Chain A
């Protein structure tokens, strides 16, 4: 019954590796997001998709590549992981075409630690 689910919950890996985080929502929402929350709890948007179309692509290194196979799924692939990538990554979703004007529902987060 989880509304927005992310896997894995924890990810510990070494610098230089490539990893993926998956996100699925069963709320029927049209818009999905990836956020990065750093150690100071600052929550910053990375990407936003509306009906599988990329809407927002913030100044994120191109090592980060989102993919939305359908409007219920949004995955994040990260190449050549760096120490600075250590953070909690949250997936979120909202209904309707005007995503930012609607409540956003967050997943439980993926805690990424780079050794």
Chain B
């Protein structure tokens, strides 16, 4: 039930782009994206409900393809502040309260 994230880690230079993928073997109701900096709490970025919508947060956007049961997070023109571990969280239509998190993708942005 835990979603699979890829890649595990990515290193970028400022201004470069990256894509993080999150996929599930089960039909999803929604996908959440969170970012956690070292030693801090996870911080909510965005939530995507089934319907294939895209959302954005600064220059970070995401899409949700419910047919493929997959979500992608796009980091565009990355900034140093984008460094951290990104987690996707998924929930099923049959379970309103349980969010299952992926293992995380560690993003390092260098000057």
A→B interface (CB under 8 Å): 31, 40-45, 48, 50, 55-56, 90, 97-109
Contacts and interface: CB of A to CB of B under 8 A. Distances in A.
B96 A106 contact: no
B42 A43 contact: yes
Contact of A50 (B32, B34, B85, B97): B97
Given A98-B96, A100-B98, 6 more contacts: A41-B85, A43-B104, A45-B99, A90-B42, A101-B29, A101-B91
Nearest to A41: B104
Q: How large is the interface on B (under 10, 10 to 19, 20 to 34, 35 or more residues)?
A: 20 to 34
Contact of B96 (A42, A44, A100, A104): A100
B58 interface: no
Interface in B70-111: 85, 87, 89, 91, 95-101, 103-104
A106 B41 contact: yes
Contacts of B36: 41
B18 interface: no
B44 A103 contact: yes
A109 B41 contact: yes
B43 interface: yes
A107 B30 contact: no
B4 to A, nearest CB: 13
